[in-house]
């Protein structure tokens, strides 16, 4: 943020998976000029269907965004008069109603995710070449996903699947290798760090209601794949 300020660059936060996360005293969605949230049903705070929101303390930007989401119509003035080339991006009222009911539970749900993440870290901290999620000292992670890394990702995923444990690769290809962005002219090797991450990442189960015995079962299966015995649990 400091670098952006020096160079007068607007920062737009991708906070799609970060409802309730913090860095220092700042919450997600409050650090940049705008923050973009997803309320897809699977998110930490999810609606009943597709939904999303943008936060900003810039009144002029907020007014422009409200106009853009409604075909570009001004907030005041004659109906069906368009000042901007906008879109039909209004969130359904039912989605807002569901979010309003669920919002008071967000902190408790996030704390449950954090507790589950700590349990995973306790049990998987010394396993093979696993890299586990980390948390900066002044940050608060909300663990929409619990994503691990290993050079044996595909083998581990197959082992978990055989044991009845779901896992997912989010995401299998960096954007520069997808067909949609082929026009940019990048090839394999253009962004080696991103490419390596996509070969190694694997998300294992995490959601607020995940019981301790199921967390332990997932951990035991991961450890079994790497040939390590279960650690003591509390």
Residue 206: closest CA among 165, 174, 172: 165
pLDDT in tens, 24-53: 999 999 999 999 999 999 999 999 999 999
Find residue 80's DSSP bridge partners. none
Residue 21: closest CA among 188, 142, 172: 142
Q: Which residues of the chain are modeled with pLDDT < 70?
A: 229-234
To the question of pTM greater than 0.95 for the whole model, the response is: no
Q: SS3 of 12, please?
A: strand
Q: What pLDDT score was predicted for residue 229?
A: 65
Phi first, then psi: give them for residue 84, nearest 5 degrees: -130, 160
Nearest-angstrom CA–CA distance, 119 and 234: 9
Phi first, then psi: give them for residue 23, nearest 5 degrees: -130, 110
Q: Which two tokens stand for residue 183?
A: 């026009």
Nearest-angstrom CA–CA distance, 71 and 85: 7
Q: What pLDDT score was predicted for residue 231?
A: 59
Q: Chain centroid to CA 192: how far?
A: 22
The angle that helices 106-124 and 212-226 make with each other, rounded to 10 degrees, is 30
Q: Is 132 exposed, middle or buried (0-12, 13-18, 19+ CB in 10 A)?
A: middle
pLDDT in tens, 122-131: 999 999 999 9
Enumerate the CATH 3.90.1150.10 domain ranges in the chain, comma separated: 106-226
Nearest-angstrom CA–CA distance, 134 and 150: 15
Q: What pLDDT score was predicted for residue 31?
A: 95
* Distances, alpha carbon 76 to alpha carbons 28, 89, 172, 210, in Å: 31, 18, 45, 48
Domain 106-226 in CATH 3.40.640.10: no
Q: What pLDDT score was predicted for residue 158?
A: 98
């Amino acid at each position: 943020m400091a670098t952006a300020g020096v160079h007068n660059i607007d920062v737009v936060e991708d906070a799609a998976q970060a409802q309730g996360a913090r860095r220092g005293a700042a919450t997600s969605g409050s650090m940049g000029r705008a923050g973009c949230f997803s309320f897809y049903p699977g998110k930490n705070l999810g609606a009943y269907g597709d939904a999303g929101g943008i936060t900003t303390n810039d009144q002029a930007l907020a007014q422009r965004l409200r106009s853009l989401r409604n075909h570009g119509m001004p907030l005041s003035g004659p109906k069906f008069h368009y000042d901007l080339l906008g879109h039909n991006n209004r969130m359904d009222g039912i989605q807002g109603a569901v979010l309003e009911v669920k919002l008071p539970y967000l902190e408790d749900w996030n704390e449950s995710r954090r507790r589950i993440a700590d349990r995973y870290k306790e049990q998987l901290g010394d396993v093979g070449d696993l890299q586990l999620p980390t948390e900066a000292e002044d940050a608060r992670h909300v663990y929409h996903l619990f994503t691990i890394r290993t050079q044996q990702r595909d083998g581990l995923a197959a082992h978990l699947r055989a044991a009845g444990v779901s896992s997912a690769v989010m995401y299998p290809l960096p954007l520069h290798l997808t067909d949609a962005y082929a026009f940019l002219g990048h090839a394999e090797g253009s962004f080696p760090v991103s490419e390596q991450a996509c070969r190694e990442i694997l998300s294992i189960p995490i959601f607020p209601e995940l019981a301790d015995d199921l967390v332990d079962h997932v951990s035991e299966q991961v450890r079994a794949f790497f040939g390590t015995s279960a650690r003591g649990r509390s």
